[in-house]
Structure 1
Amino acid sequence: MRVTYDRTVDAAYVYFTDPQDRVKSAHTYPCDPVDVDGMINLDFDEQGRLIGVEVLAASSKLPQYLLRSAERLGTEGA
């Protein structure tokens, strides 16, 4: 499983696809539950399979060990 994190926008993405595959999202289902106090987007491929989850406000939603081990994106990863 591949996880990316961009600290600048505090967003993480968890991929459920093989890193070698170039799967494109055909449909995004936004979830904004009040109880979670944040935004989560579910990405599905053309066959309706879940291919990834985007988590906004990731630093308050995901375990810190996961964010520390995630691939860095944005200017901090350069």
Structure 2
Amino acid sequence: MRLTYDDEANAAYLEIEDIAEGTAVENVVVERPGRGDIILDFDAAGRLLGVEVIGATALVRTTALDAAERL
């Protein structure tokens, strides 16, 4: 697992396993009105590959973002 954070986009990504190009075939968006969005990426077998957090500073603890790999 790996957590990355892009300061400019205010987006974090929790990669559960390596994601090759085209592996994520389904995205489920969870809207958090006024805070951001959470996008779940699934493969063709329905397994969760990763979680993207748009508006990360409002949805993820600062300690986790501080420890994340910067993009």
**Does the TM-score normalized on the shorter chain lie above 0.5?**
yes
Root-mean-square deviation (Å): 1.5
Runs (4+) off by over 6 Å: none
Q: Is the 8 A contact 2:35 2:59 kept in 1?
A: no
Separation (CA, whole Å) in 2 of partners of 1:72 and 1:33: 24
Q: More strand by proportion, 1 or 2?
A: 2
What is the correspondence of 1:26-41 to structure 2 with a 5 Å cutoff?
26-34=25-33, 37-41=35-39
Query: Number of matched residues?
Result: 69
Give the TM-score normalised by structure 2: 0.85
Give the TM-score normalised by structure 1: 0.79
CA distance 1:12–1:61, change in 2 (3 Å): same
Secondary structure of 2:66's counterpart equals helix
Q: Which runs of 5+ in 1 are unaligned?
A: 74-78
Bigger CA radius of gyration = 1
Report percent identity of matched pairs.
41
